[in-house]
Amino acid sequence: MILHDFLPSGNGYKIRLLCACLGLNVTLKEYDITKGETHTESFLAINPNGKIPVLELDNGQCLSESNAILLYLTEQNHLTQQHQSALLPADPILKARVYQWLFWEQYSHEPNIASPRFWLTHNAMTDLKKRMLPDRIQQGHVALKLMDDTLAQHTFLVGDAMTLADICLFPYTHVAEEGGAYQLSEYPNIQRWIKQIEALDWFIPITQG
Ligand SMILES: N[C@@H](CCC(=O)N[C@@H](CS)C(=O)NCC(=O)O)C(=O)O
């Protein structure tokens, strides 16, 4: 499999982190999104939406949308013994709770935490984005508080076992401070959760392909 990616991307890192967890090998093909490299004719042929990550399967089929890729890889590579828990629980309610976090991440977390980080760290600020920033940051704090309150109740987002919800939310949460919009010291339960994930034996950092 080939992962079309941009290393600083949290959306791409979700897939790299899951592959590390599942012990899957992927070949990384990097694009510089700041130079429009995902809008070339050849890239648009693999994702007409012009965005990484794209997972190219061995049969040449291409999947986009990070959380769809997470679900595909998890369902294709069931594991329970090695990690003592299923990343996507079989129980319908627990599985729905994982889905809740995945959909919530795209609507309430990523636009408020990942986008400001990108604008502030990649010199991508425009007048419109400057006007949007205070509201995004306020909503980002709401999202971080919701995660922190949840993590005060149990070890991981869906209970005391790690699931795909944690793999999905870890990438942009752990770098939320980049760009200066957020201070994770305000969220002690998130800090504890980050340390726990970083201590897992299969963990890889965002900088690793
Ligand atoms: N909802 C998509 C978002 C993907 C996305 O925003 N990718 C960004 C990098 S994190 C990108 O490729 N941007 C390049 C562009 O829009 O030109 C996902 O979860 O995969």
CB contact at 8 A, 124 and 133: no
Can you tell me which atom of ligand 1 is nearest the CA of 9?
Answer: 10
| CB-ligand 1 contact for 115 (6 Å cutoff) | no
172 SS3 class: helix
Per-residue pLDDT band for 93 (boundaries 50, 70, 90) equals very high
Sign of CA dihedral 99, 104, 107, 110: negative
Q: What is the DSSP letter of 57?
A: P
Task: Give the chain's mean pLDDT.
Answer: 94
Our mutation pick for probing the ligand 1 site, out of 32, 35, 51, counting the most ligand atoms within 8 A of Cβ, is: 51
pLDDT at 209: 80
> Residue 81 above 60 pLDDT?
no
pLDDT at 106: 98
> Residue 82 above 90 pLDDT?
no
**How far apart are the CA of 156 and the centre of ligand 1, in A?**
26
- Each domain of the chain, given as residue ranges in start order, spans 2-76, 92-198
> Residue 84 above 70 pLDDT?
no
Q: Which CATH fold would you assign to the domain 92-198?
A: Glutathione S-transferase Yfyf (Class Pi); Chain A, domain 2 (1.20.1050)
| CB-ligand 1 contact for 47 (6 Å cutoff) | no
pLDDT at 67: 98
> Residue 80 above 50 pLDDT?
no
> Residue 161 above 60 pLDDT?
yes
Q: What is the mean pLDDT of residues 174-191?
A: 97
From the CB of residue 63, how many other CB atoms can be counted at a distance below 10 Å? 19
**CA-closest candidate to residue 106, choices 71, 148, 60, 156:** 71
Residues 6+ apart with CB under 8 A from 20: 202, 203, 204
Report residue 15 CA to chain centroid gap.
Answer: 8
**How far apart are the CA of 188 and the centre of ligand 1, in A?**
29
pLDDT at 90: 87
> Residue 185 above 80 pLDDT?
yes
Q: Whose CA is nearest to atom 16 of ligand 1?
A: 51
Note the helical H segments in the chain: 10-22, 41-46, 66-76, 92-104, 115-121, 127-153, 164-174, 188-198
Q: Whose CA is nearest to atom 8 of ligand 1?
A: 51
- What are the tokens at 158? 């869906």
Q: What is the mean pLDDT of residues 142-153?
A: 98
CB contact at 8 A, 38 and 51: yes
pLDDT at 188: 98
Query: For 8-18, how does the pLDDT look when each residue is reduced to its tens digit (9 = 90+)?
Result: 999 999 999 99
**How far apart are the CA of 61 and the centre of ligand 1, in A?**
19
Sign of CA dihedral 95, 196, 201, 24: positive
Can you tell me which atom of ligand 1 is nearest the CA of 69?
Answer: 20
Per-residue pLDDT band for 86 (boundaries 50, 70, 90) equals confident
pLDDT at 85: 54
Query: Which one of 3.40.30.10, 3.30.230.10, 3.40.50.300, 3.10.350.10 gives the CATH number of domain 2-76?
Result: 3.40.30.10
pLDDT at 121: 93
Q: Among 41-55, 119-133, 156-170, whose mean pLDDT is lowest?
A: 119-133
Q: Whose CA is nearest to atom 6 of ligand 1?
A: 51
